[in-house]
Structure 1
């Protein structure tokens, strides 16, 4: 049975991969970054679908079993990773726009 956390993660993963693919097709993103985001979100979805992996990881770290905070922490991490993706996209667009603007200004200045 799919829980809210799993649906939450799958939704954000689908959103990011779709957006990244659209940016790839428009030339806003290169293939390396597209593959990075697809692989990253595939790992996140895998962890969301198999939360026992997260519980096992936290059990090894803390030495405790049955860590109930692991699912909430994984959901928070998913949301943070989504925000990082959005910030990366926005920063990349600003950088490209700034580069284009500086190039145009340099060409105009040279012509004068």
Structure 2
């Protein structure tokens, strides 16, 4: 096992521990936690058994295992970007709604000045 594999496994274990900690504190939803646990366990497995990437590459019809990992990573990153975009868009809508409600309330109930 090479040094880069050991460092990668240690980092993935650290990240996995953070996910578990967030799940225990309930600062992350169960679905998000399961997604990240799947990601980090997959990283650990791929680092421990790098020949598995060649097997996946053959199934996907890609030349090398590393290429398959890169392609899959790009797809996952696009999905995560989409999810972030959707959440930001939802937050913007909520903020706009709250600001409108406050503006309407303040129009009919002026603030008392000290």
TM-score of the two chains, using structure 2 as the length reference: 0.54
Decide which structure has the larger Cα Rg and report it.
2
> Which blocks of at least 5 consecutive residues in structure 2 are unaligned?
108-114
- RMSD between aligned alpha carbons? 4.1
1:21-71 deviation per Cα after TM superposition (whole angstroms, max 9, x unaligned): 5488474x4221111121132123212211122222334555xxxx6x32x
Partners of 1:30 and 1:93 in 2: CA distance: 14
Moved over 6 A (4+): none
Q: Number of matched residues?
A: 105
| Counterpart position of 2:55 | 56
| Counterpart position of 1:105 | 99
> Which blocks of at least 5 consecutive residues in structure 1 are unaligned?
none
TM-score of the two chains, using structure 1 as the length reference: 0.54
Higher RCO (CA < 8 A, seq sep 6+):
1
2:69 is the counterpart of 1:94:
no
Partners of 2:82 and 2:16 in 1: CA distance: 12
